[in-house]
Amino acid sequence: MKTLINSDGNGTTKNVPDVEFFGNPDSFALLCKASSQKEGWMKSTKAMEIPGVGCLVQVTTQQLSPDGNGYALAEALTFVPGVQVDCVYEYRGEKQLIGRRLVSMAPQDAPIDKNVKNLPDITELPATEAEMLQMMTDDDGGKEPESDDE
């Protein structure tokens, strides 16, 4: 049976005795995860921060096939500019990591690449792929041109 509860390299090492790693197994930080060993499914969202630029965000879904002879897997990967991973802690006698989230970069952490023009605020990101493609091809960051007509 496939182990669905792993959330980091350390947990994987404990739960999968023959695991082998190349590189940093924790390059992507887990943002959220839900799974059911009994029902054979798992969904997760992970982010890899690129300091001063943004995050690669990966969404994974695994589902045990109806006959129980394998898993169906779906993954998506996208780049979200202008955000960083923020750790959420709880204090109960000691500091404990209880989650992570994506937050807008503080101005001092914003991208410094002079070729990045009009980087949109995370709250203004386009909702559709077509809008994203349009924004990427516009020199003005996808914003409507201002009219000189009065």
Question: Rounded to an integer, what distance in angstroms lies between the CA atom of residue 142 and that of residue 120?
Answer: 9
d(CA 97, CA 54): 22
Token pair of 123 as six digits: 């709250």
Establish if 38 belongs to a structural domain. Answer: yes
Pairing assessment for the beta strands 83-91 and 29-36 based on DSSP bridges: unpaired
Task: Establish if 2 belongs to a structural domain.
Answer: no
Q: Which residue positions in the chain have pLDDT lower than 70?
A: 1-13, 107-150
Q: Tell me, yes or no, whether 69 and 138 share the same domain.
A: no
Report the distance separating Cα 79 and Cα 105, nearest Å.
14
Dump pLDDT digits (tens) for 41-59: 999 999 999 999 999 999 9
User: Which domain, by its residues, includes 92?
Assistant: 9-103
The reply to whether 63 and 123 lie within a common domain is: no
Considering the domain boundaries, does residue 149 fall inside one? no
148 is a domain residue: no
Task: Tell me the pTM.
Answer: 0.59
Identify the three-state secondary structure at position 83: strand
Same domain, residue pair 14 and 80: yes
Asked if residue 18 belongs to a domain, the reply is: yes
CA 48 to each of CA 20, 59, 82, 130: distance values in angstroms, whole numbers, following the listed order: 21, 12, 13, 24
